[in-house]
Amino acid sequence: MSTASPLPLSTVTRSGPGYWLASLGSMTRFEMGRARQWAALMVVIQILMGAGIAVMYGFFYPRVTHLTALYLTTGTPALALIPIGFVLVPDSVSQEKLAGTFDFTWSLPAPRSAQAAATFLLFTTLSLPGAVLALAVASWRYGVRLDISPLIVPGTVLCALMAISVGFGMALAISNPLLINLITNALMFVVLLFSPIVIPPGHFPGWLLTADRALPFYNMAEVIRAGLCTGLVTDLTRSYLILAAWTAAGWAMTAWVVGRRK
């Protein structure tokens, strides 16, 4: 790995909005260069996780009704976004810490807030194509005709940003890579078995559904589902507020760690 700094060594003033934006652009290009090695594989994983799980869940039903097919299809983008933010991002940071490249990156002459923002921007952008492809596969498999509205754009972007913000903040706040690995695996267990993402909420007991409504996974599915069809989502505002709160929590964890590092 090259140790060349992504920022030109010049006599520019290292302060102010102009310097921060220039640092953001430089760090984004730096991160994009590193992402070339695994970006294509990330899209494949998203399709397998999103469309693959949705298709497999369909085998559990003796007969897939229109309502079931609608839930399976519209929950697919959330299933595609969750592993990127809650698994790939924390694992990536943990591997960088073990390899020593994380400290090198943070030693570069750029504000650490710009470095963190570049990570958010890169992973959010890279996560969207895989989610769209996973949705297309599930829609084709079940023959669902979607009623796409403009709500899909802010909803999907918020979901991607929230997942990456929480995953990145968690990876920074927890120094033990083994603990990060255990947490990410436990989260995927919860998502696949105990979250009404591709399964109608009415199939879950009341106490479990109450817990799910406070977690981000169910609300991710609801926000995206509201932009893909009508009649299934009844409390969209609450889901947006829950996701916004989790996003703020991810940023708070990141800011706390950034502020503590010397």
**CA-CA distance, 208 to 244, in Å (whole number)?**
22
Q: Are 157 and 64 in contact (CB under 8 A)?
A: no
pLDDT confidence band for 9 (50 / 70 / 90): very low
**CA-CA distance, 90 to 32, in Å (whole number)?**
17
Q: What pLDDT shows up at residue 1?
A: 46
Residue-wise pLDDT for 116-151, tens only, equals 888 888 888 888 888 888 888 889 988 888 989 998
pLDDT at 262 over 80: no
What is the reported pTM? 0.84
| Surface-to-core class of residue 32, CB atoms within 10 Å of its CB (0-12 exposed, 13-18 middle, 19+ buried) | middle
Which percentage of the chain shows pLDDT scores above 70? 94
Residue-wise pLDDT for 20-72, tens only, equals 888 888 888 888 888 888 878 877 877 777 778 878 888 888 888 888 889 98
pLDDT at 200 over 50: yes
pLDDT confidence band for 110 (50 / 70 / 90): confident
